[in-house]
Amino acid sequence: MEVSKALPGADLIERCLLDLQQGIESIPALLVLIGAINAATLRAVERFASRG
């Protein structure tokens, strides 16, 4: 996954994603993973709510 260099913290996010790809469970990498799960959950809730 490529992260736009224009985003704040892009270098940190890229390092965290690399950690996860390599199976390294660093604290920053796990925080990125939690954020991704939360974002996916929000998208699913929004899709469900828009049906109604």
Query: What confidence score (pLDDT) does residue 43 get?
Result: 87
Query: Is the alpha carbon torsion for 16, 21, 22, 25 positive or negative?
Result: positive
Fill in the amino acid letter for 21. Q
Query: What confidence score (pLDDT) does residue 2 get?
Result: 74
Give the predicted TM-score (pTM) of the model.
Answer: 0.56
Query: What confidence score (pLDDT) does residue 42 get?
Result: 85
CA distance linking residue 3 with residue 23, whole number of Å: 19
Q: Write the pLDDT tens digit of every residue in 2-51.
A: 778 887 888 888 888 889 889 998 988 888 888 888 888 888 888 888 88
- Cβ distance 31 to 25 under 8 Å? no
Q: Can you give the residue ranges of every domain in the chain? A: 11-50
- Cβ distance 32 to 17 under 8 Å? yes
Task: Please check the confidence at residue 1 and state whether its pLDDT lies above 70.
Answer: no
